[in-house]
Amino acid sequence: MPAENASTPGTGPVAVSAGSPLLRVDDLHTSFHVAAGEVRAVRGVSLTLDRGRTLGIVGESGSGKTVLARSIMRLNIGGNVSTSGNVEFEGRDLLDLPLKAMKNLWGTELAMVFQDPMTSLNPVVRVGRQLTEHVRSNLGAGRGEARQMAIDLLREVRIPDAEARLRAFPHELSGGMRQRICIAIALACEPALLFADEPTTALDVTVQHQILNLLGREQRDREMAMILVTHDLGVVAGRTDDTIVMYAGKVVEQAPTRVLFTEMRHPYSEALLRSIPRIGQRSHTRLSAITGRPPDPIDIPPGCPFSPRCPYVQQKCREEPPPLVAAGDGAGGASHLSACWYPVGTDAGRDAFARNLADRLPQTVVVAEGSEFAESAAANAAAEATAANGSFEGGGA
Amino acid sequence: MGRLIAGRMVRLVATLLLVTFVTFMATSLLPGDPVNALIPIEAQQDREFVEQVREEWGFNDPLLVRYGRWLGDAVRGDLGDSYVTGRPIIDEITPRLPVTGELMVVTVLLGILIGVPLGLVSGYREGSRADKAVSAVAQFGLSIPNFVLGLVLIYVFAIKLRWLPATGWTRISDSVTGNLKSVAMPAIALAVAEVAVYLRVLRSDIISTLKENYILSARAKGLKDRFILFRHALRPSSLTLTTLIGLNIAGLITGTIVIEQLFAIPGLGRRLFSAVFQRDYMMVQGLTVLLAAAYVIINATVDFIYIAIDPRIRRRA
Amino acid sequence: MADPTGLRSLQEDGQASALARSPAPFRVRVGRSLWNAFREMPWPTRACASWLVLIVTVAIFADWIPGLQDPNYQGFLFGKSKTLDPPSMEHWLGTDNVSRDILARVVHGARTSLIFAGGVLLCGLVFGGLLGSAAGFLRGRFEAVVMFYVDVSLAFPALVFFLFAITMLNTRGLGIMTVAVALLIIAPYTRIARANSLSVSDREFVTAARAIGTSRPRILVREIIPNVYPTLVAYSLIVAAVLVILEATLSFLGIGVPIPRASWGGDINMARRDIAINVWPMIPPILALVATILSVNVVSDWLRSNAASRSSAL
């Protein structure tokens, strides 16, 4: 291990064959042991991410997406956490790495931007120090060098009057400004992989857009891989190469982002999409919320975890958990996976839905009303996605 | 910030006026006649003599006039004369002030030197065996009254081991080691509770600070644990600690009075005590005003320090 | 909140269910069954709670405990027992320097402590609680006057004020001690009650009560005060330990309860004179004192942390 560390003093990707992915996660499980039982937050997630590519992880609150990101970085601390599975990053098995070696990767190889810029900066430490303290300790930069670097970084994230800002305290800056600083901090040591954990959830809508664009630009310019965690399907549309939809700690659908929007297979993905307002809609179109709540992570029901809330639900769904398999013959091909017995947009799905409609299951009524626009919403999003991709992928691919 | 400080200043002066007024009023509205304390019982029947003394001491003037006069004198350092010894109160207090001061300063220093590292370690290693041991000891420390602890120390170190003097005080100007010997037991008896309070507050503060998002992001930046602990966790926590030390001063003043009495230390507390037993009203009044004022001023100072070092407050005003 | 780090990160992800399934508010549970709370305690806490129950019981029934001697009976005057006697069958904890039964004195000392602490707490709860609730709800001049009182009495260190008071009033005794300390303790109670009352007054149910035309005194009694008191009760647990210490300290200094009334602090002071000859008579009151303070602290810590982790009931 030490030899390996010495060979990669935070200077980006080296010595890994071009063919292997930057990050490969295999059957990752994370649990928290609390008084009430075992909280199974992540239950067997696998994914791969290539150098310079972007991946979106989408799911509502409690789906385990944040825990997944933190598990990969091994940021879940505390004696009550247990993580199993395999996380391979640049050829190293992160879960087997001694904690000390892992800490050497933090900041330099793996970095994270957190959800709430209000609380992720230390209120009593000046911005300049927070921007460069890890550059100085990780890369051994001198004081003057670090200062210049901080100014450059602030300019890069479009913060005006950079030199004066160095002396500011976080509370003197706006939320968007603070998130820009958090991004600058994460970028400072040129990481190979950046996690953005709901980077815009705490911000105003107008600022959200700017921050996402900033992240996209930096990702492209630096040829850095990025994992964008969000609860908003609209955020990943057009901004990530691939998307994973998570529910109750599992991947329920996985596809290239464009394919996901055009050939959505999982009812949960569909439900997520339906909960986003779209510009193309008539102004008083009803948005449908997903009825019910995610399952209790201590006591996850057998069968498909989404079954209690699913409009397509059948008896089989309640008994047998569906495996994550190739989602048929669509444009996504083998890269489109879905875990559903009665996928959306297939005959099996339509039959299941019709049966439920006939049985007047309560949630089907809501869906029946909304299903028409659901399709149009999907089409809208897909159109937007394609448009955005056109402008986005020019630099990335 | 200037406005904030000005506001606090006004409040400080107002509180001081109130405190002095209340103390003064209490002496004046006593059920008994303070003159009786001045005159031997045999002479109290002599109305003319009593009246003469009243006039001499200014007891016949209206209350507010007397308060004004008293306050004016007090500001100039004249707290009146002791009824018992007849000497100016300020002259009796001055030589005792450094003794009490030293005892309190040593106590607070001991509290910080021992309490802060312990609190830091047990907060950082929450739930560890060391943390549990420290917490248990702190719980005991808080549960032993200082005079009991003082007695135990006297029994062990003065009576059994004969290492330290049980009572008395050697001035630092007379002998440094002698001074250290005489301050050791009283300061320890006082400091144990301070240590316990500091470390408990710092511990819980560190624990909650370490759960803050900015600590997680500092970790994700790749900073060393120790660096995070000192630079990112201790600094916000030290603000709480500063306030706490200020708030604890009242308890410390009380404790010092008790401990001075137990160890027969010639400080302000012991003088206050003898004045109480001698019914030396003027002395009691003077010392009460002085101690209460000291307490109010120390607290205000701590407030100012707090304003000065917390950037959030500093900028808000 | 004493969450393990892991759970917190979960909650940030919205999975609050581990807490959402927490049982009924602790306050209700205490009301329903103190026994259940007792059974849930870890053994050291349980031992402390048992000690408190024992102390309070013997303090209340001190006069009726069969076989317990009069705490002021000096056997040696009648040639019945010796002074500074070690523990024996007649005197389980021995005798003090004037041949009084130490066990009896410790039991009656508990009574002194209990009367003082109980009296002061009651004053604080009643007067401080009412003043503060009213001040926070009524505001205006009333609040200003109340807070004036609070500010002034908080400016005096407790012992200094007490010494000042007994000098000026020229009397001593359990009663005056209780009243003097109660005068001081009302201030922090008032302050806490006012702060709570201020925030409760802003809540919807108070606005709702106002909107339907409920009279102000009625709102104060029905809505504000019941919501202010739980915090004050929790605070009383902390104050109780301080009061036990204070009583012992004052009596130790000879300015608390007058001789010959039994008091732990007074008896420790009595025994102190013979410290070089015989240290024994000092030990039972010291142990009783420290055990009681420790128990109050441990039990109140437990109650607070459990109340906090279950719900914000207290």
Residue-range definition of the domain harbouring residue A380: 257-276+303-394
- Residue A53 sits in the same domain as residue A173: yes
CA of C9 vs chain B CAs: smallest distance (Å): 9
Token duo for residue B274: 């003898």
Interface residue A249 vs chain C (CB under 8 A): no
Total-model pTM: 0.76
Tell how far CA B294 is from the center of its chain. Answer: 8
Residue A286 burial by Cβ neighbours in a 10 Å radius (0-12, 13-18, 19+) = exposed
Closest Cβ–Cβ partner in A107, A125, A171 for B220: A107
Token duo for residue C293: 């303070």
Interface residue C33 vs chain A (CB under 8 A): no
User: In this structure, which amino acid lies at residue A66?
Assistant: T
CA of A179 vs chain B CAs: smallest distance (Å): 12
With beta carbons under 8 A apart, name residues in chain B contacting C148: 18
Token duo for residue B103: 């005892």
- The answer to whether the beta carbons of residues A12 and A190 sit under 8 Å apart is yes
Token duo for residue C137: 């709800």
Within 10 Å of residue A65's Cβ, how many Cβ atoms?
29
Flag if B257 and C160 touch (Cβ within 8 Å). Answer: yes
Q: Give the C-alpha separation, B185 to A8, whole Å.
A: 57
With beta carbons under 8 A apart, name residues in chain B contacting A105: 222
Residue A358 burial by Cβ neighbours in a 10 Å radius (0-12, 13-18, 19+) = exposed
With beta carbons under 8 A apart, name residues in chain B contacting C301: 139
Token duo for residue C158: 């407790």
What pairs with residue A112 in β-bridges?
A: A195
* Residue A279: per-residue pLDDT: 63
**A240 CB contacts (<8 Å, ≥6 apart)?**
A54, A55, A56, A226, A228, A257
Interface residue C277 vs chain B (CB under 8 A): no
With beta carbons under 8 A apart, name residues in chain B contacting A106: 219-222
**C96 CB contacts (<8 Å, ≥6 apart)?**
C83, C84, C102, C105, C267, C270, C271, C281
Q: Give the C-alpha separation, B141 to B191, whole Å.
A: 9
Closest Cβ–Cβ partner in B216, B223, B235 for A124: B235
CA of C19 vs chain A CAs: smallest distance (Å): 9
Interface residue C68 vs chain A (CB under 8 A): no
- Residues of chain B short of pLDDT 50, as ranges, are 316-317
CA of C294 vs chain B CAs: smallest distance (Å): 5
Q: How many residues does chain A have?
A: 397
Interface residue B148 vs chain C (CB under 8 A): yes
The two beta strands, A110-113 and A193-197, are parallel
With beta carbons under 8 A apart, name residues in chain C contacting A70: 9
* Residue B306: per-residue pLDDT: 75
Residue-wise pLDDT for A331-369, tens only, equals: 667 788 999 998 888 888 888 888 888 876 555 434 434
Token duo for residue B305: 């320090």
- Residue A272 sits in the same domain as residue A334: yes
- The answer to whether the beta carbons of residues C68 and C103 sit under 8 Å apart is yes
- The answer to whether the beta carbons of residues C58 and C109 sit under 8 Å apart is no
- Residue A33 sits in the same domain as residue A178: yes
Of A39, A27, A32, the closest CA to residue A72 belongs to A27
* Residue C84: per-residue pLDDT: 74
CATH number at residue A210: 3.40.50.300
Q: Give the C-alpha separation, B306 to B105, whole Å.
A: 19
Q: Give the C-alpha separation, C195 to C128, whole Å.
A: 12
The two beta strands, A325-326 and A337-338, are antiparallel
CA of C112 vs chain B CAs: smallest distance (Å): 17
Q: Give the C-alpha separation, B21 to C113, whole Å.
A: 33
Closest Cβ–Cβ partner in B213, B227, B236 for A120: B213
* Residue B3: per-residue pLDDT: 76
Within 10 Å of residue C72's Cβ, how many Cβ atoms?
15
CA of A85 vs chain B CAs: smallest distance (Å): 21
Phi and psi angles of residue C240, each rounded to the nearest 5 degrees, phi first: -55, -45
Residue-wise pLDDT for B107-163, tens only, equals: 999 999 999 999 999 998 888 899 999 999 999 999 999 999 999 999 999 988 988
Interface residue C77 vs chain B (CB under 8 A): no
Residue-wise pLDDT for A270-297, tens only, equals: 888 887 776 666 666 666 677 777 888 8
* Residue C10: per-residue pLDDT: 32
Say how many Å lie between the first and final Cα of chain C, rounded: 13
- Residue A194 sits in the same domain as residue A270: no
**A289 CB contacts (<8 Å, ≥6 apart)?**
A275
Q: Give the C-alpha separation, B222 to B213, whole Å.
A: 15
- Report the residue of C3, C5, C8, C9 to disrupt the A interface, i.e. the one with the largest count of A CBs within 10 Å: C9
Tokens 């087997």 -> residue: A96
Tokens 């399952």 -> residue: A295
- Residues of chain A short of pLDDT 70, as ranges, are 1-19, 78-79, 278-288, 328-332, 360-397
Token duo for residue B269: 């507390």
3-state SS class at B116 = helix
Q: Give the C-alpha separation, B144 to B131, whole Å.
A: 20
For the domain C47-296, what is the CATH superfamily, name and number?
MetI-like (1.10.3720.10)
Flag if A32 and C6 touch (Cβ within 8 Å). Answer: yes
Phi and psi angles of residue A113, each rounded to the nearest 5 degrees, phi first: -105, 130
**B252 CB contacts (<8 Å, ≥6 apart)?**
B104, B107, B108, B190, B194
Of A75, A72, A99, the closest CA to residue A86 belongs to A72
Tell how far CA B90 is from the center of its chain. Answer: 19
Closest Cβ–Cβ partner in A36, A70, A78 for C21: A36
Interface residue A199 vs chain C (CB under 8 A): no
**B111 CB contacts (<8 Å, ≥6 apart)?**
B191, B194, B195, B197, B198, B245
Residue pairs between chains A and C whose CB atoms are closer than 8 Å: 62
- Report the residue of A122, A131, A137, A198 to disrupt the B interface, i.e. the one with the largest count of B CBs within 10 Å: A122
Within 10 Å of residue A49's Cβ, how many Cβ atoms?
21
With beta carbons under 8 A apart, name residues in chain C contacting A80: 4-7
3-state SS class at A17 = coil
Token duo for residue C233: 């009760």
Domain boundaries, chain B: 2-93, 97-266
Closest Cβ–Cβ partner in A34, A41, A63 for C4: A34
CA of C183 vs chain B CAs: smallest distance (Å): 14
Flag if C268 and B147 touch (Cβ within 8 Å). Answer: yes
- Residue A202 sits in the same domain as residue A313: no
Q: How many residues does chain C have?
A: 314
Give me Rg for the CA atoms of chain B: 24
In tens digits, chain C (314 residues) has pLDDT values of 333 333 333 333 333 333 333 334 445 444 555 777 787 888 889 999 999 999 999 999 888 887 777 787 777 777 777 777 788 877 778 887 777 888 889 999 999 999 999 999 999 999 999 999 999 888 888 988 898 888 888 888 888 888 888 877 777 888 889 998 998 899 999 999 998 898 888 888 888 888 888 888 888 888 888 888 888 888 898 899 999 999 999 999 988 888 788 899 999 998 888 888 888 889 999 999 999 999 999 998 888 777 654 444 33
Q: Give the C-alpha separation, B245 to B198, whole Å.
A: 8
**Residue C1 CA: distances (Å) to CA of C15, C18, C264:** 16, 13, 37
Interface residue A290 vs chain C (CB under 8 A): no
Flag if B276 and C166 touch (Cβ within 8 Å). Answer: yes
Q: Give the C-alpha separation, C268 to A274, whole Å.
A: 77
CA of B262 vs chain C CAs: smallest distance (Å): 8
Can you tell me the ipTM of this complex? 0.83
Interface residue B306 vs chain C (CB under 8 A): no
The two beta strands, A250-256 and A242-247, are antiparallel
* Residue A352: per-residue pLDDT: 87
Geometric angle at alpha carbon B215, from B211 and B219, rounded to 5°: 125
Geometric angle at alpha carbon A53, from A47 and A54, rounded to 5°: 70
Determine what percent of chain B falls in helix, strand and coil, rounding each to the nearest 5: 80, 0, 20
Whether A244 is covered by a domain: the verdict is: no
Q: Contact partners of C by the rule of 3+ C-beta pairs under 8 A?
A: A, B
Flag if B222 and A124 touch (Cβ within 8 Å). Answer: no
**Residue A151 CA: distances (Å) to CA of A55, A163, A365, B266, C196:** 30, 6, 57, 61, 47
Flag if A124 and B219 touch (Cβ within 8 Å). Answer: no
Q: How many residues does chain B have?
A: 317
* Residue B312: per-residue pLDDT: 64
Element (H or E) spanning A130, and its range?
Answer: helix A127-139
Peptide bond into A117 cis (omega under 30): no
**Overall fold of domain B97-266:** MetI-like fold (1.10.3720)
User: In this structure, which amino acid lies at residue A139?
Assistant: L
3-state SS class at A24 = strand
- The answer to whether the beta carbons of residues C310 and C23 sit under 8 Å apart is yes
Phi and psi angles of residue C301, each rounded to the nearest 5 degrees, phi first: -60, -45
With beta carbons under 8 A apart, name residues in chain A contacting B217: 112, 114, 120-121, 182, 185
Whether A226 is covered by a domain: the verdict is: yes
Interface residue B317 vs chain A (CB under 8 A): no
Flag if A115 and C12 touch (Cβ within 8 Å). Answer: yes
Residue of B nearest to C286 (CA): B148
Mean pLDDT rounded to a whole number for chain A? 80
Q: Give the C-alpha separation, A359 to B35, whole Å.
A: 100
Q: Give the C-alpha separation, A170 to A288, whole Å.
A: 38
